[in-house]
Structure formats: structure tokens, C-alpha cells
Chain A
Amino acid sequence: MLRAALKYSYLNAKTRTMHARRLKPSDWHILETTKDPPAFLRYLSATSYAPWVSRLLSARQEGNEQFERFVFAALFDDYRKIIRSIPDNDALGLVRALAARFEAENLKIVLRALFSGLKKSQVSHLLYPLDQKLSRLPFDSLWRQDSLGDAVKLLAETAYGPMLRHALSQVDAQGRLFPVEMAIDIVFFRQINSAVHGVRSRRDRTSVVEVVNSYVDVVNICHVARIRFVYGLSAEEALNYSYPGGSLTIKGLHSLAKAKDLQALIKLLPLGIRLAAEGAEDIPGLRMALEEWLLRRMRRAFLGYPFHLGVQVAHLLEKEIEVRSLVRLFQAKATQYQRPQAELVPGILLKSGDSVGGEGVVQAG
């Protein structure tokens, strides 16, 4: 325990300070009531997002796409701060693997651009601002490639290489990029899975497995539902395109994939998740309910024994959900999309004095 305390005391204090800077329910309330995007940004520039939003305001870029880039920079800043202070290589590997989610998204955008013959300037606003600490893929060289095949060859020695080679033959057969995008996601989740199991300390591993498995389950359930009921693919395709990892078994995922509609799928979910998801009428509703469930699970990491890696992982994933909620809310403002805030932001973020999280969590550190 003394060793763990020595290892995590500084990182914990740092993480909990970052965690305390998340938006308060009152902030969400004011953001929801702002009349337009400029007002939204002005208020946000008075919160912990100030450094990034002020940059956006000074650059006079108030478009949705630019907002997403700037606000995600806040999340990447937290990633960098944690990476700088992380004590072990295995723990560092896990945090880097989590950041690889954004690297994978950027890679998909680059490959999509190559596939459709778009130039970097046409899609650069969609790319997450990652630096060498968060991504080591040769993006500059990728942009110089003439075709998808060349890009896949360039990636041959990276973790994505073998899977992309298999996916490329499917792209040729199907004439669409979907298999490549799926392959990238699958590789990312495999990396996460092996990074989680690569954490040596048992206590760290237990705390991390709980948080990461819950995260993968939520992503997987939403993904299977979207593949089945939005894209209309078959059950066998939905299963094969599902992500590795998480606590759901392959059999469980298969039964979800075979559900004939969303309500049937919800009924097949494991009890805890089912209780959270009940009442969801569509896929955005399901995602919101599951994110709320996930946030509750993650906030448990901040209670009890404090010296474990679960705190950092939970903070990063929670921050990601916060940023995504902010983007959704901003886009709703920008497009004058009239939906109640509860459909755009997980409820737990909007309630004050929540029994699991709340301000008390900060004091625990």
C-alpha cells in the first residue's frame, strides 16, 4: 500500500484537481439557456475551458467543426498531463491506448479522404489536434500517398497493418470503405483490451477492468444497435463487426444482434444495464441512458481506496463524455435543434449533489 501511495499520490492529486474542474450542473443550466452560439462560447470562456475557447474566439472561428477541434484540445491536455506523471510503463500503455481512439478517428478521416480523392485542406477541420505524445502514426507521410492501397502499405508495420490488409480486400470486393473503418475500430479495441490485461498490479487491473469493460460494453451495445437498426445489416455481420473486450460474451452479443428491434435488444441486456436502459425509445435515447449508467460506474472509482489507476482512466473517460455532450449542446444551439437538454447531456451531469459522484468525490483525494 505504501508503494501504491508513493506511486499515485502526486498523480491522484493532479487528476482529482482536473476532475474538480469539470462543468457544474449550474454551468450546464446556463449553457442550455444561452440564446445562440456566441453567447454559449462567451459563457464557456468563463469556465475551465477558457484557454481553448478564448483561442477559438480570438481566431473568430465559431463554426461547429472548429468548436469540436478546440474543445477536444481540453481533453487532450488532460491526457498529456496524466501521461507526463504516470508512474509505470504498463499504465502508460493503457492511457496511450485510450488516446488511440482519437488517433483511430483521424486515421479513418485520412483514409476516407484518400478513398474519395479529397485533399488535406478539405478535411483538416475534422481532424483531432493530436501531437507526438498522443499519436505516433506517420500522418504526414499518409497524406502524401496516392491511394488507399499505398496508405495501407505504409501502415504495414503499425498495429493496424495486418487487419487493414485483410479489410482492403473487402473494400475492393464491396467498393466501400466501411470494412476499413470497422477494421480500425476493432484494432483499437483490441489494443485497449490487451493494454488492460497488460497492467501488472492486481489492484490497478481490477479497478481498470471495471471502468474499461463498462465503457466497451456501452460502446458495443450502441454499435450493435446502430448496425442492426440504422444500417440494416444482418445479425451475423453485427456480431463480426462488434468490438472485442468488455464484459459481454460473444454469445451475449450474438443474442443482442439477433434482437428484432430496440426494445427486444434492451430486454436482452444484463440486468444492471437493462435497468438503466429501460425506457429508451431510440438509439440516441439508449446511448444517453447508457452514458449515464457508465458515468455512475466511473464515479465509483473516485470513492474508497484512492491509489489506483482506475481514477485516471475514469477521469479521462468522463471528461470525454463531458466534451462530447458539450459538442452536442453547441451543435444543437448552432442548428437551432429544439430538444430538451436531457436528450443531449447525460442526466447525472445536470443534477447537483448526486449520491455517487458530486463534490464529495474531490474531497476523497
Chain B
Amino acid sequence: MSRVMGILGDFKLLHLINISETRLGKLGYTAGVPSDLLDRYDNVLESIASLVRELEIKGPVPPLEKAPIPDRDIFYMEETLADIENQVSGCLVRGREAAKELAKTEELISRLSMLGPADIDFTRLSRLCFVYCTFGVLPADNMPRLEESLSDIHHSLVTISRNKDRFVLAAFCLNEDRDVLERALKSAFFKEIDIPSGLKGTVSEVIEGLKKELPALETKAAQAREEKEAFKKRFQKALLLMREKAFMARLLLKAQSKFGKIDHTYLVTGWLPIEIFPRLKDAIMKATRGRAIVESVDPEDVREVREGIVKIPILFNNPLLIRPFEKLTSLYGTPSYREVEPTVFLALSFVLLFGMMFGDVGHGLVLFIVGLYVFRRLYRYMDYGIILMECGVSSMVFGVLYGSIFGVEDIIPAIWLHPMKDINRFMMFSVYIGVGMISMGFILNIINMIRTRNFQEFLSAGGVVGALLYWLLAGLGIRYVMAGPPAPVEIMAAKAVSSVLLLVMIVERPVRVILRRRRERGKGKSPQAEQGIGSMVIESIIEALDSIIRFLANTVSFVRVAAFALTHAALFAGVFAIADMVAQGSGRGAGYWLTLVGGNIVIILLEGMVVSIQIIRLEYFEFFSKFFRGGGRPFQPLVKQEEVR
């Protein structure tokens, strides 16, 4: 079993099914977690953590080449760790003691330095037989009360030094009045300076003596540090690797709670991409010397899947440049198993729309450079770096098409158009893009209907009939814009076809219901109490009209692509106008250029953010809403790299 777990760890791409959620699990045939072994791994991890901390090991974590075999590797880890601890512990103890001794001496020197101005002779003080003496710090405001409170006993408060809010004092009294002095000092918030007994000579002599000891102590501490450094270099990789292995082993052990077990036989069930199944099977058969049964089952044959108890998890499998957009798809939902995975469409349309709305060579270049920096330096945000780079390239391409570099439109010629000068054409193009995206939405919805065998919606507003009606209306619109008003024959034909399509949309649901009721009656079932046919027809009419309005609104919504491109150009005009005003006042000096730079930064940040939000809105509401149902379950591999760490 342990070897099999190692193989599963190596393959990584396995989404375990929790056996306790299945019938077998409900009967109690679950494997459970081997708590003894888990405790041993916990101890190992604790020891490694302590060593890593003490040796001050930092740095990149080496990648694991092979997953551990938990119940075999623990022996190796414990033995190796004990060996390292044996070698290192002496050095660590010596280092700790040296550091402690050094700190203690330095602290004593600093305490004694407070008494420095009086240069007290400790030898003479130690000879005092009838007088008690103590040193400490007193809040300055408490001095008058302290003096008065000691007025009934023989005492002396000698000020050694003072600053604005505290005194360093030496307090003397007769031995018989020691209690009174101590009570008074305590209540006056006197903080005693702890002086070790047995000191000989004056304060300066003692400090001198202690300072002479310092180099030896420092050398000792330095030696211990060097020794520690050598151990650090020697064991760094081994300890970090062992920590990774122990984490991974722990994860694999914990995963056993999802396994099934009958006597000495384990049952491991899970989802994995079909193409890696043969390799996994071979590896397991080899490791167990044929004493395993590895079977693949079509999801359709699994009763739990059919009954909806178990959902097939979805593994996003997109190329590197598309992968970052998976996050945007996931924000909307996880596609179900048979649905089209829409990330690739989202990625392409996102980049295209961003370029159109934010087209400028300079700004695109800035975005690309920022993205490249994020991609190379900030590993955690690599995905955002890729998105920024792609959007940057798209902006640059459209910048060339618009002939715009940092808003200046006379450096390079516009290959296609200037958005501000050709507004109508640009708006029409935006609408064409909208027609294209909505049409793609219809096509994907029809594909989803076929894949999920949901044929009953085929003739609805979201199905083939709705799509045909939309294309008919869109075609008429495009025909009108490009070649003028349609001929009467064309209008007649369009009216006839659209009437038929509308009629189908209206009657398809009532007809379906009537047919179903008939079928049920034929089988002897009494039909369920539900809506009457009349109200159903009225509802269908309203739905059909609503769909037509929605088609129109969805398409017009894409005009915003042009609107934001115009806003982008208008903001440039604003920035140049402000810079010119500055230049009129103080010439084309630093103020002018600062305004231009500041303005461009504001445009990149503000406009960049607004454009992104608008594109996401278009993607979600106008595109995804046509075909994407979601409700799927994300694929969770047995071992995620971040979980291991």
C-alpha cells in the first residue's frame, strides 16, 4: 500500500473520491489514518523545524523528484535526523552558552556604567557592617516624597546621575532600618540595579576587567557561529528536502482517510485524466508485483455519478498563455463535466477587447514591461504578469492600428483608423464584435445542449430557433448598414421567417407539455397539477418578446467598446490640454513634462482598471450568460505543491 501511495504522490494528478461518501464507506469499510505513523512524522517535522530555526536556514525549497513511501521513509528520516542532531547539538549548545555569557557581561557593563559617575569602590562597600546599601533608578517626581518618607530614619540618598525624568541613586541606611528603606523605595517605584556580590575594586576597574573578558567571549561566540555556518551549509539541502518529504508523506497518510479497506485489501478510487491511466496502471502493477487490480470505469457506468451523489471534477488544462484566465472563469463558476470549457474563448475575447479599448503603443509597452517584471520577479502573481503582458501586446497592436504612441497621433500613421476621427465606423465595428461574440455564445450553447443531451431546450429562445432569429435580425441590420435598406422581397422573406421562428418559440413549450401529459396518460399515470396551457402560451409570448429585446440590448451593449476607446483618446486630449496650460505659465520645463508623465500614469491606472471591469462585465453578462451553466466541481489533485509547503 505504501508503495502505491508513493506512486500516487508521484503522479499528482489524482482527485480522490472520499470513500465515506459512497455506499461502501457508509457500510464502514474505510481505511482511516494511521495515527502512530502520523505522530512520528509530526515529531520529525518538529525536530526539522527546530534545526532549521537554530541553524537559521533559509532559501529556496528544492523540488521533490520522487514522492515518499510513508511507512518506509520514516525510518530513514528518523535515523538521518538523529545523526544530524548528534553532530549539530554540541555546536548549538556552545553557541547558545557563548551568546548568553556575552549578553550577560555586556548587560552587567551597561548596568555598572550607570554607577560610573560615582566610581564606587565595591571592596569598601563589602566591608560595611552596620550600613545597608542599594543602587537603583527612581522617577524624578517621586524624590521629594521619598526623602520625606525616610525622614524618621538615618539615611542617605546619594544622586549618582540624573536626567529629566529619573535619578540613579545610591540609598544608604542602618541595617536595623533596612525594612523601612526597602518599603519606602518599593512604594516610590525605585527599580533596583542588580549588582552581583563579590565584586572587587571601583566601578571603573570592574568595568575595565569585564571589558577585557569581552574579546575572549566574542571569539568564542564567533567560533560557535562559524561552526554553525559550516553545519548550515552542510545540512541545508538535506534538511529542506527532508522537510518537503515529511510534509508530502503526512499528506499521503492523511489521504488514507478517503480510502476504503476490507481486511487487508485497500480500495483507492479517484478521478484522473484518461491519458495517464495506462502509465499509472503499469506503475502500480509493477510496484505490487501484480497483486493489485487497477480498473478504469466510464463515469456513465458509475451509479453514484448517475444519481448525482458524486460529481465528476473538472481539470482545467489550458496552455500557459491561456491558463491565467482560468481564474476569471472560476469566478463565474466551474463548468460541469459535459459543458464546453470556455476559458479559451474568454482569453481571446478579453485580450482583443482590451486592445481595442486601450489601444496605444506606449501604454501597451508600459503594461508589457510591468507584466514582465511581475512574471519574472513576483512568482506568486505570475498569472497576473502573463495577463498584463498579453493585454500590453494587444494594446500595442491596436496602438499601431490607431497610430497612437502615448496619445501622440502624428508620429506613426494610423494603419486602420483614428478612433476620435472615425467614430461611427468604430462603433459599427464594436457592434459587429458584439454580434460575433453573442453568436459564439449561441453556438456554444447548442453544443452544450447536444453534449448534455438537453434537446428539449433546442427550439427555445436560447437554442437553435433563438439563434436563427438573432442571426436573421443581425443580418438585416448589417445589410442595412453596409448596402442600404433591404429590398421589399427581402423584407417579406425576413418577416415570414421571423414569424415562423417566433411562433415556434412561443408554442414549443406548450406543445412539449401537451405531448408529455399525453405520454403520461398513456402510461396510466395521472398528470401532475401544473400550469394551464393558456397561461403557458401567454408566458411563452412574453418570454419570446423579452428574448428579442435582450438580443438587441446585448448587442448594443458592445458599443461601450468604442465608447471606452474614445474615452481613452479623450483623456489624452485632457492631459495634453492641462500640460499646455502649465507650459503657458512656466514654459515647457519640468512642470509640462511632469504633467504629461503624471497624466499618463493616471490614464494607465484608472482607465486600465475601468476597461478591465467593463470587459469582465461584457464577458459575464453578454457572453457567458448565453451558454455557461456552471455547477461543476473543481479538480483537486492529491498533492498540491502549495499544500506541501
Q: Do A and B come from one complex?
A: yes
Binding site for B on A (CB under 8 A): 162-163, 166-167, 169-170, 173-174, 179, 182-183, 190, 233-237, 239-242, 244, 250-251, 254, 258
Is A162 a contact of B144 with CB atoms below 8 Å?
no
B149 on interface, CB distance cutoff 8 Å: yes
B142 on interface, CB distance cutoff 8 Å: yes
Is B148 a contact of A251 with CB atoms below 8 Å?
yes
Q: How far is the CB of B179 from chain A (nearest CB, A)?
A: 9
B431 on interface, CB distance cutoff 8 Å: no
Is B187 a contact of A240 with CB atoms below 8 Å?
yes
Is A239 a contact of B189 with CB atoms below 8 Å?
no
Is A166 a contact of B180 with CB atoms below 8 Å?
no
Please judge, given known A-B contacts A240-B146, A242-B145, A250-B144, whether A163 and B189 are in contact too, CB under 8 Å: yes
Chain B's closest residue to A237 (CB) is: B187
Distance between Cα atoms of A239 and B149 in the complex (Å): 6
Q: List 21 A-B contacts (CB under 8 A).
A: A162-B165, A166-B139, A166-B189, A166-B191, A167-B189, A173-B186, A174-B186, A183-B189, A235-B149, A236-B180, A236-B183, A236-B184, A239-B145, A239-B187, A240-B142, A240-B145, A240-B184, A240-B187, A244-B141, A250-B144, A250-B145
Chain B's closest residue to A163 (CB) is: B139
Chain B's closest residue to A249 (CB) is: B148
Mark out the residues of chain B between 54 and 88 whose CB falls within 8 Å of any chain A CB in the assembled complex: none
Chain A's closest residue to B189 (CB) is: A166
Distance between Cα atoms of A329 and B599 in the complex (Å): 70
Residues of chain B contacted by A258 (CB below 8 angstroms):
152
Residues of chain B contacted by A233 (CB below 8 angstroms):
183, 187
B188 on interface, CB distance cutoff 8 Å: yes
Which bucket holds chain B's interface residue count?
A: 20 to 34
Is B141 a contact of A190 with CB atoms below 8 Å?
yes
Distance between Cα atoms of A254 and B150 in the complex (Å): 10
Distance between Cα atoms of A250 and B146 in the complex (Å): 10
Is B187 a contact of A236 with CB atoms below 8 Å?
yes
Distance between Cα atoms of A234 and B182 in the complex (Å): 11
Q: How far is the CB of A236 from chain B (nearest CB, A)?
A: 4
Distance between Cα atoms of A239 and B151 in the complex (Å): 11
| 0 or 1 for each of B145-160: is its CB under 8 Å from A? (1 = yes) | 1101111100000000
Q: How far is the CB of B270 from chain A (nearest CB, A)?
A: 44
Q: In the complex, which of the residues B137, B148, B187 contacts A254, with contact meaning CB atoms closer than 8 Å? A: B148
Residues of chain B contacted by A170 (CB below 8 angstroms):
186, 189, 191
Mark out the residues of chain B between 168 and 206 whose CB falls within 8 Å of any chain A CB in the assembled complex: 180, 183-184, 186-189, 191
Residues of chain A contacted by B146 (CB below 8 angstroms):
240
Q: How far is the CB of A105 from chain B (nearest CB, A)?
A: 20
Residues of chain B contacted by A239 (CB below 8 angstroms):
145, 148-149, 187
Chain B's closest residue to A190 (CB) is: B141
Residues of chain A contacted by B151 (CB below 8 angstroms):
254
Residues of chain B contacted by A169 (CB below 8 angstroms):
189, 191
Q: How far is the CB of A235 from chain B (nearest CB, A)?
A: 7
Residues of chain A contacted by B186 (CB below 8 angstroms):
170, 173-174, 179, 237
Tally of contacts, chain A with chain B, CB under 8 A? 59
Secondary structure at the A interface, as helix, strand, loop or mixed, is helix
Distance between Cα atoms of A173 and B136 in the complex (Å): 14
Distance between Cα atoms of A12 and B638 in the complex (Å): 77
Q: How far is the CB of A230 from chain B (nearest CB, A)?
A: 16
Is B189 a contact of A179 with CB atoms below 8 Å?
yes
Residues of chain A contacted by B183 (CB below 8 angstroms):
233-234, 236-237
Distance between Cα atoms of A247 and B137 in the complex (Å): 29
Residues of chain B contacted by A240 (CB below 8 angstroms):
142, 145-146, 149, 184, 187-188
Mark out the residues of chain B between 293 and 336 whose CB falls within 8 Å of any chain A CB in the assembled complex: none
Please judge, given known A-B contacts A170-B186, A240-B187, whether A162 and B180 are in contact too, CB under 8 Å: no
Residues of chain B contacted by A183 (CB below 8 angstroms):
189
Distance between Cα atoms of A233 and B146 in the complex (Å): 15
Please judge, given known A-B contacts A162-B165, A166-B189, A179-B189, whether A236 and B149 are in contact too, CB under 8 Å: yes
Chain A's closest residue to B151 (CB) is: A254
Q: How far is the CB of A281 from chain B (nearest CB, A)?
A: 28
- Among the interface residues A234, A235, A239, A242, which one has the most CB atoms of the partner chain B within 10 A? A239
Distance between Cα atoms of A242 and B145 in the complex (Å): 9
- Among the interface residues B145, B152, B184, which one has the most CB atoms of the partner chain A within 10 A? B145
Q: How far is the CB of B185 from chain A (nearest CB, A)?
A: 9
Is A254 a contact of B149 with CB atoms below 8 Å?
yes
Residues of chain B contacted by A182 (CB below 8 angstroms):
187
Known: A163-B139, A170-B191, A240-B188. 4 other contacts (CB 8 A): A162-B165, A170-B189, A233-B183, A236-B187
Is B148 a contact of A162 with CB atoms below 8 Å?
no
Q: How far is the CB of A121 from chain B (nearest CB, A)?
A: 32
Residues of chain A contacted by B180 (CB below 8 angstroms):
234, 236
Chain B's closest residue to A257 (CB) is: B149
The 8 closest A-B pairs by CB, nearest first: A240-B187, A236-B149, A166-B189, A237-B187, A236-B184, A239-B149, A169-B191, A240-B188
Residues of chain A contacted by B187 (CB below 8 angstroms):
182, 233, 236-237, 239-241
Residues of chain B contacted by A241 (CB below 8 angstroms):
187
Distance between Cα atoms of A271 and B250 in the complex (Å): 82
Q: How far is the CB of A188 from chain B (nearest CB, A)?
A: 13
| 0 or 1 for each of B186-229: is its CB under 8 Å from A? (1 = yes) | 11110100000000000000000000000000000000000000
Distance between Cα atoms of A258 and B152 in the complex (Å): 10
Residues of chain A contacted by B188 (CB below 8 angstroms):
240
Distance between Cα atoms of A170 and B138 in the complex (Å): 12
Is B184 a contact of A237 with CB atoms below 8 Å?
yes
Chain B's closest residue to A235 (CB) is: B149
Residues of chain B contacted by A234 (CB below 8 angstroms):
180, 183
Distance between Cα atoms of A254 and B153 in the complex (Å): 14
Residues of chain A contacted by B142 (CB below 8 angstroms):
240
Distance between Cα atoms of A179 and B188 in the complex (Å): 9
Q: How far is the CB of A182 from chain B (nearest CB, A)?
A: 8
Q: How far is the CB of B316 from chain A (nearest CB, A)?
A: 41
Q: How far is the CB of A256 from chain B (nearest CB, A)?
A: 12
Distance between Cα atoms of A163 and B183 in the complex (Å): 18
Q: How far is the CB of B138 from chain A (nearest CB, A)?
A: 8
Q: How far is the CB of A295 from chain B (nearest CB, A)?
A: 29
Residues of chain B contacted by A235 (CB below 8 angstroms):
149
Distance between Cα atoms of A179 and B145 in the complex (Å): 16
Distance between Cα atoms of A250 and B151 in the complex (Å): 11
| 0 or 1 for each of B110-143: is its CB under 8 Å from A? (1 = yes) | 0000000000000000000000000001010110
Chain B's closest residue to A165 (CB) is: B191
| 0 or 1 for each of B385-405: is its CB under 8 Å from A? (1 = yes) | 000000000000000000000
Distance between Cα atoms of A14 and B182 in the complex (Å): 52
Chain A's closest residue to B142 (CB) is: A240
Residues of chain A contacted by B148 (CB below 8 angstroms):
239, 250-251, 254
Distance between Cα atoms of A169 and B139 in the complex (Å): 13
Mark out the residues of chain B between 595 and 635 whose CB falls within 8 Å of any chain A CB in the assembled complex: none
Distance between Cα atoms of A92 and B142 in the complex (Å): 27
| 0 or 1 for each of B508-549: is its CB under 8 Å from A? (1 = yes) | 000000000000000000000000000000000000000000
Distance between Cα atoms of A38 and B362 in the complex (Å): 77
Residues of chain B contacted by A237 (CB below 8 angstroms):
149, 183-184, 186-187
- Among the interface residues B152, B184, B189, which one has the most CB atoms of the partner chain A within 10 A? B189
Residues of chain A contacted by B191 (CB below 8 angstroms):
166, 169-170
Distance between Cα atoms of A192 and B471 in the complex (Å): 84
Q: How far is the CB of A340 from chain B (nearest CB, A)?
A: 37
Is A236 a contact of B150 with CB atoms below 8 Å?
yes
Residues of chain A contacted by B139 (CB below 8 angstroms):
162-163, 166
Q: How far is the CB of A196 from chain B (nearest CB, A)?
A: 16
Distance between Cα atoms of A239 and B191 in the complex (Å): 18
Residues of chain B contacted by A244 (CB below 8 angstroms):
141
Q: How far is the CB of A170 from chain B (nearest CB, A)?
A: 6
Q: How far is the CB of A165 from chain B (nearest CB, A)?
A: 9
Q: How far is the CB of B448 from chain A (nearest CB, A)?
A: 52
Distance between Cα atoms of A237 and B190 in the complex (Å): 12
Distance between Cα atoms of A10 and B458 in the complex (Å): 81
- Among the interface residues B165, B180, B191, which one has the most CB atoms of the partner chain A within 10 A? B191
